[in-house]
Structure 1
Amino acid sequence: MYSVTWVLLALALCDVKVLNAESGEIEELTGLPKRCSYDYAYGYYGAYCADLGLNKIPSLKSGVEILDFSENKLREIKATCFSDYSGLRMLYLADNKIYHIEENALASLTYLQSLDLSRNVITHVPPSLFQLPALKKLHLSGNPLTHMDSSALSKPIRAPIEYLDISDCGLTEIWNWGILPQLLFYNISQNSLRSLDVSHFVEMCNLRKVDMSKSIDRIRLCDIKPSIKWLQQRRVDYLLLDDSHVRLKSREFAYCPDGTITDEFNATHTLCLSSYRVPVADVQASRSTWARLCGGLAGFLIGFMLLLYLFHRYNVAKIKRMTEKKKVPPPIQGDKQSSELLLNEVSSA
């Protein structure tokens, strides 16, 4: 009886150990370090490291041009984070826990065209970010930019920014950016703005669309009318995906004065137009294209000249052979017959 009990107890302990071993193996399998995957996108070589629970940038393969590091636990952007990846063109850091960006932390990214810092806890963006020579798209939405103001910017902004998103940043006032001649799309939606002066748009001379949804409902109608009129005159589309468009069609808005567009505004707008420049990235791409074209043309010319040289050498050799053949005199028929007779006489004797 006791022996049977001990056997059953031993089997039970073995089962427990097996189960523990199996659960341990499962935990080890699920606890394996997750790695970035690599692939091509938009014609660039990219590293996909999203949603891996990482708190720092891992060691990546050389030549990476796109990095998706969104949905991780990165808290700071230090100068050493991207120093080895100066060829980055697109950088996605959305949905992390970033609260601090060191000055010049991104200064080495001279080819960077798109930067997404959305939905972090950033209160201040270093001025050097706006000096990146190729930066076209900047996403800052969902950050409490409470420490940003005009004094925090180094003017003029040299980055050729075409798309700028500062939506849902808890802003009541928007600082003066200075001249942004390349800006095409401006998103200031979901902020509780108390004012939006026409001077804010004067230095955005190529602006095509601005999203003001859920941002101007607290501004008095007569205070916002000069800005609306300026945008209408410059044929800028303004999006109002809320009830604000109803207010702008009201009789009260129609009776508001249009406001005075001063000579200073027009002069500033003209200065903005004169400062428009081709983005550095486009210049670099153009130079690269021309370099490839010139290289291909040079290769074609060299090959064509080599072919001509070989053809010339062939013709020279052919002419030389024909000339040498003409120099050998043909045998005389009479001499040939005399030689045959002489040989016959000798043989008969």
Structure 2
Amino acid sequence: MGLPKSMDLRCLLLNIVFISVVNAMLAFGIASQDERRCSVGRIEKLMRIRCYNMDLKEVPQNLKTSVEVLDLSYNRIRKLKSGSFQRYTDIKFLMLYENMILSVEPGTFAPLTALQEVDLSNNGLTTIPMELFALPRLRNLYVDSNELRELHQDLETLQRPIRAPLEYLNLANCDLHDIPDLGILPNLWQLNVSANPLTNFHIEKLANLCHLRVIDLTRTQIDSCDCQQVTNHLMTIGANPKFVPVCMDSLDSSVCPLPYNRTVNSETFRGCMDSAELAEVRSLWLFGAGCFGGVFLVILVLWYCIHRWRKRRAHRRLSQSIQNRKHFVISPRNATNNRMEDEPLHCDTASA
């Protein structure tokens, strides 16, 4: 009977040791995770904070408010709240790809008026937050690999023309059946809509993109006529048809008419060109006004410096003349008792 008791005691001791080791490992793991911090550095003179792959469930609120490049990719953020970026208004580049973002509260991106690029790819979004299109400096937008099944409905409430000067838009693999109608985009030069069905594609949508240079239509299901029309349109405006599927069949113009009357010669295309020219003229005016303002400021500063110098020189001359001037003093003869009451006072000139 003694042997089983000793074995039970050994098993008990082994269990205690095992539990202690497991608890220590868990405690060490938790401590190590808590000790992890976002790295801070600079990239092209911009302050970058990298919170990459840290198992974050929300946007941290203890970062430096002057951050300009914020990397929150590969985390577990499910929801972006209206106050998520309220403290970080200087953000220019924001990486949120490979998270679990399912929803975005209204007003989340509104404080980011300096934002130039945002990457929301590989999340669970069903639409694009419409407030992104109101940001005055947003140039690059990545929302690829999201099932944007509600985008078409939300675009009905979008105010056009949008304020964001989009130059690059990535909508690849978003289960889209047509190119989204964002209105006239005079600055957009590259559009990626690859890996989408695009079964309802219409060539007229390209009239909104008068400065388009690259469009990626690979792995789409557009028919032969649409394919040929896109190729002809791109060649007409001098764009690159490299990422358009090769049209094997040469279709007759009666079957597949050239799109020039619906794109290049359309009112929409001309309106896009006018918007681009107006923006260029406005930019030149702003540049000229800035130069004039700078020259005027320099002239004003020079005039102020000259005015101050002249004033100081006149003050020095006046001080010097006062020092060199002979002073008059009251004569001692005025103190005598013999001076008649009506006798004028005597003045002596001080010796130099």
TM over 0.5: yes
Distance 1:323 1:153 in 2: 82
Deviations 1:10-67 (CA, angstroms, capped at 9, x unpaired) = xx99998996797466435423242223233343333222211101111122222322
Q: 1:16 to 1:228 in 2, by over 3 A?
A: closer
Alignment length (residue pairs): 311
Distance 1:303 1:249 in 2: 76
In terms of mean alpha carbon deviation, does 281-290 or 189-198 score higher?
281-290
Structure 1 segment 19-98 matched on structure 2, within 5 A: 23=25, 26-59=28-61, 60-98=63-101
Matching residue's letter, 2:213? R
Partner in structure 2 of residue 113 of structure 1: 116
Q: 1:259 to 1:192 in 2, by over 3 A?
A: same
In terms of mean alpha carbon deviation, does 36-45 or 205-214 score higher?
36-45
State the shift of 1:259 in Å.
4.3
Distance 1:25 1:286 in 2: 64
Matching residue's letter, 2:150? H
Structure 1 segment 278-317 matched on structure 2, within 5 A: 302-314=304-316, 317=319
Deviations 1:270-289 (CA, angstroms, capped at 9, x unpaired) = 11222233699999999999
Structure 1 segment 1-349 matched on structure 2, within 5 A: 23=25, 26-59=28-61, 60-149=63-152, 150-151=155-156, 153-215=158-220, 218-240=221-243, 245-247=245-247, 257-259=257-259, 261-262=261-262, 266-276=266-276, 277=279, 302-314=304-316, 317=319
For the aligned residue pairs, the C-alpha RMSD in angstroms reads 4.1
Distance 2:143 2:291 in 1: 32
Matching residue's letter, 2:54? L
State the SS of the aligned residue for 1:229: helix
Partner in structure 2 of residue 7 of structure 1: none
Whether the aligned pair in 2 keeps the contact of 1:46 and 1:65 (CA below 8 Å) is yes
State the SS of the aligned residue for 2:40: strand
In terms of mean alpha carbon deviation, does 258-267 or 101-110 score higher?
258-267
Q: 1:290 to 1:233 in 2, by over 3 A?
A: same
State the shift of 1:68 in Å.
1.3
Whether the aligned pair in 2 keeps the contact of 1:202 and 1:268 (CA below 8 Å) is yes
Whether the aligned pair in 2 keeps the contact of 1:86 and 1:108 (CA below 8 Å) is yes
Matching residue's letter, 1:55? K
Distance 1:120 1:77 in 2: 12
Question: Please, which runs of 5 or more residues in structure 1 have no aligned partner?
Answer: 1-11, 325-349
Partner in structure 2 of residue 334 of structure 1: none
State the shift of 1:71 in Å.
1.1
Deviations 1:135-187 (CA, angstroms, capped at 9, x unpaired) = 11111111111221142533332211111110122223223221112212111
Question: Please, which runs of 5 or more residues in structure 2 have no aligned partner?
Answer: 1-13, 327-352
Q: 1:172 to 1:107 in 2, by over 3 A?
A: same
State the SS of the aligned residue for 1:222: helix
Q: 1:285 to 1:113 in 2, by over 3 A?
A: farther
Partner in structure 2 of residue 337 of structure 1: none
Distance 2:27 2:265 in 1: 70
Distance 2:195 2:302 in 1: 58
State the shift of 1:200 in Å.
1.0
Matching residue's letter, 1:142? S
State the SS of the aligned residue for 1:32: helix
Matching residue's letter, 1:273? M
Q: 1:94 to 1:202 in 2, by over 3 A?
A: same
Whether the aligned pair in 1 keeps the contact of 2:70 and 2:95 (CA below 8 Å) is yes
State the shift of 1:229 in Å.
1.4
In terms of mean alpha carbon deviation, does 135-144 or 122-131 score higher?
122-131
